[in-house]
Every structure is written in structure tokens, then in C-alpha cells.
Chains A and B, each alone.
Chain A
Amino acid sequence: MEKIAIIGMGMTKIEANKVSENFADMAWEAVNAALADAGMDIKDVSNLITTSNDFWDGRTISCMAVGDSSGAREKNCSCVEGDGTYGAFYAMARILSGSYPSTLVTGHTKGSESISSLITNAAFDPIYERSLGVDMITASAMQARAYMDKTGTTSEDLARVSVKNHGNAKNNPYAQLPMDLTVEDVLASEMIADPLHKLDCSPVSDGCCALILADEETAKKFCKKPIWVKGAAFCSDAYFLGDRDLAKPKSLVAAAKKAYAMAGITEPTRQIDLAEVYDAFTYQELMWAEGLGLAEYGKAKDRLKNGDFDISGTLPVNASGGLLSGHPVIAAGLYRMAEAVRQLRGEAGANQKDGAKTAVVQGLNGLCGQSHCVWVLGNE
């Protein structure tokens, strides 16, 4: 594969309610931060991808409404509906086509402007499921139950994810929910839907993230510390939750296998220095870490308990604080990529994993991880 690099990134602070900014305002902030980071002018970017979701935004063709403030005027602008990691994949594919030296990709969400349970309820089948009121939390609680039943993972194990990630967020200026927690605090928090407590769930959030991807020549022209794409792949599973084994992340295993093959990763636990995964709920961090081969199936809880996933551990997972500390839905995967870029550049401050060279990032699309997108990034 031709070499592709991430040469710029910009994040807004993730907040519960950015009442003073609309979508375009958030895009303006993130895009300009990414351009400044890359040392580029908007004229240096030939094309862009915006990533959004019409239901979350409450408007049709939401992705085009942020065009002007993203620098799309008189440029080739295309859109992805789904997680930002998929928008980034499209950006990468465009560069690989040979027609685009660099592509700007953005993702935005304002969870604050709607009722999240109604938005996620609308993702379910309108004939058979929606009227029953099922939403992302209910479905994820059932997935958590299935996973815990199959692996022996306990509520205490899940609580440790929350303690770790909210603690990591204390050193992340972009995080919404830095917190000092104990396992007891998590277990004492309100039961939302068994087995998920309130502190097992990510918050409702607003935010926008922008990345600039480029070919090798452009990367070397603009960027002192390009972060290289070593591998990227995604894979889907069945739509109906009832068709899947919810306790196992089958499509993630498949996506990781492809991305690792591209990146020459044969022993992920040894070759990968850190991971940023889609921890919309505590149990998901463990499930996805296993799907990525960072622990054997059912054993992520042991590595977590052992401290391996801490910033000081052998393989930090969500050193940024993850989505538990701020979850702007569509932008979420782009934030994970941007956080991995900070680490690989050595710019993660107090959360820095010393000597990090290779990171894996995972985004997802669809209910309970129907589809997963895996990126292997490296600084060499």
C-alpha cells in the first residue's frame, strides 16, 4: 500500500452542552485547529469528507450544512453517515485513488439537542422492535449480560474500567468527565438497566473532531511528525441483534485480522503499545480489547485488574479517558484516532505512554458493534 499519514488533528473540548455553538461553529474550531496543527492553509486541502447523522442533527443532509465552516466551498466535498473512523477510511481511499494528495475529514455530534433514547430507538427495526421502546442502553445491557454470563466477568470488573478511564480523563483537557472514582462509587451509582450502572455508561456529549490525511509527499512537505497508517479495515455482522451472538465481537475479530495483516502485526499484545477503543459502556472496552487480540477471550478483566491497561501498564487502553469520559457519537472514532496521534507524537502530557510507537484504534457503527473499523497507526 502507498504510505498514508495523519498530518493534522483538531478537537473541540467535549462538553455536555455546547449551547453557545452550533454545528458549523464546532466544525470551524476543529477544522482550524487541524489546519494549524498541520501547518496548512485551507487552500492546501483539495477535498473533504464530513461525517454526521441526520437523526442526531435533526436535519436532512446534515453533512452538507457544515460545508462552509469546514472549508468546502468550491471543493470536492463528500459525506459519510456513521462513525468518524469510516469517514477517515473514505478519506484514505480517496488519497489511495491517486487523485487527492490530502483529505480533510470531520465528524460532529450534538447529543445535547435531542432525546438520546428516541434517537437510538429509531435505529431499530420499525416493524418488529421500535415500538417496544428498545434503545442503545437496553440493547447494550443485554449484550453486557450475555458477555458476562459467557466469560465470568463481574460488575466489579466493569467498574474498574470506569475508574480507570474517568481517572485518565483528569489529564485530558478535551475530556468532559474527569473523575476520581472507586469501584464502590461505580457500583453504588444508579442502576440504569441491569447490569449497567450509571457510571458504566458514557455521557451524552457535544463535540467535533477533524483530521487531515495525506499521501507521503504531502506529509513530508507539511509535517514534522507524520503518523503513518499501517493498516485499516472494517467488517460488518448481521443487522438484527437476534441474528448475532451478542457475547462475541465476531466482526471486530475479522476487521482486526485484516488490519493486522496489512500492518504486519502477528502478536498484538507484544507489538502494540496502546489502544483507543470505543468504550460507550464499560463492558465494551473489555469485549473490544479481546476482539482486537489484546487479551484472550474472557481474559481482558484479568489484564485490567493486573494494571496492564493503565497508563503505567504494558498496554494502556483509553489512556485518553475514552468515551466514558465524553462521547460525541459520530465524532467518537475520530477522537480516538486523534488521541492515538497525540500519543504517537509524544504529546499526551501526563497521560503519555513512554516510547509509544504503534497504536490500534477501533471505531464502530451500528447497534452493539454491528460493524467495526480498525486502524493500526505508527510513528515510524
Chain B
Amino acid sequence: MAREDHLVISSGKAVQPFHYAVGLYGSKFFQELKENRRLVGSKCPDCGKVYVPPRKVCGGCFKEMKEFVEVGPKGTISTFTIVRYTFIDPETGVQRPVPYGYGFVRFDGADTVFQHFVELDEKHPIKIGARVETVFREKMEGTIRDILYFRIIEE
């Protein structure tokens, strides 16, 4: 059989939608974000570590966390990349415009780092240790996209 005779069958257009439970901790995070433009993490009663996003369990101590603490909205870039390859945006299914900045930010008051877009700004080149502020979307919807991106600031 010639190579061009080989068949590939496509999976078609049907998709499997999922309905992911946000959980009580996530619900608190998004409620504070949407209603108060506030960022919260959860604090471990044993080691005192503040986790963002908040979750029930401190993996290090295997302890349940019950305390919520406010963090940010300013923070520091811990690492970053500038994405330059084109790829399919999982949200829209179309190619996303590049380049764009992406990074991890340690919110003031947090012990873990949080990932999101970072604005590319010629005057303030993105680098490890740069200070940032959180830019929120005008009309909040209670999703992670209520944060538009981090903007590099001078302090």
C-alpha cells in the first residue's frame, strides 16, 4: 500500500465539557476578587506559610488551613518568559497573538508565587525582582481573567 493511501480519522467537532468545582476556598478567592478587588490566600496554622491561590491543605505540613489573609495587590516577579510561538488559545480555540509576557509574581504577604500575564513595556523591561501591581478588569466576573495582567512599576 502506498503511503498516501494511509488514513487518518479525525475525532470530529464534538467536545466534552467539564464543570469543575471551584470549592469553598476558590469560591472565597473569586468572591473577594469580584466584589472587593481583593486578593486572598490561606495561611497554615503550623508553618505560617501563606498560599495563593488559597486551598484547604498545606501539603508541607499536611494540615488543614482555615485562615484567609489578604495579599498583594503589589508583588515581585520571581521568574518570567516572553511567549513568542503561536499556539491555539485553549479559551477561544484560535491562535493567540504573540509576543506576550507571562510570569510568576510573589504577592506582598504571600509565600507562594502566582502565575499570570505580565504587560510588556519598553520603558520597564521585565526582569526577575521587578515590582508589579495587579491590573483588574473593569467589569468583574469572578474568574481568573478578572486579573488582566501585572504591570511593572517603579518603587
Contact = CB atoms under 8 A, between A and B. Distances in A.
Contact of A131 (B51, B81, B143): B143
8 contacts: A115-B88, A138-B83, A142-B102, A145-B80, A145-B81, A241-B104, A242-B114, A246-B104
A330 to B, nearest CB: 19
Contacts of B36: none
Interface of B: 3, 6, 8, 11, 18, 20, 22, 26, 51-53, 59-60, 78-85, 87-91, 96, 102-104, 112-117, 128, 143-145
Interface stretch (A167-175, A189-197, A320-328, A340-348): A189-197
Interface string A112-129: 000101100110001111
Nearest to A129: B115
Contacts of A238: 59-60
A126 B53 CA distance: 13
Most buried by B among A137, A141, A238, A239: A141
A140 B145 CA distance: 22
Interface string A18-43: 01100000000000000000000000
Given A133-B96, A238-B59, A242-B112, A19 B128 contact: no
B82 A131 contact: no
B51 A243 contact: yes
Contacts of B116: 132
A192 B114 contact: no
A247 to B, nearest CB: 8
Nearest to B126: A194
A135 interface: yes
A141 B102 CA distance: 10
B88 A193 contact: no
B52 A142 contact: no
Interface in A240-256: 240-243, 246-247
B88 A117 contact: yes
Contacts of A135: 87
A117 B60 CA distance: 30
A342 to B, nearest CB: 30
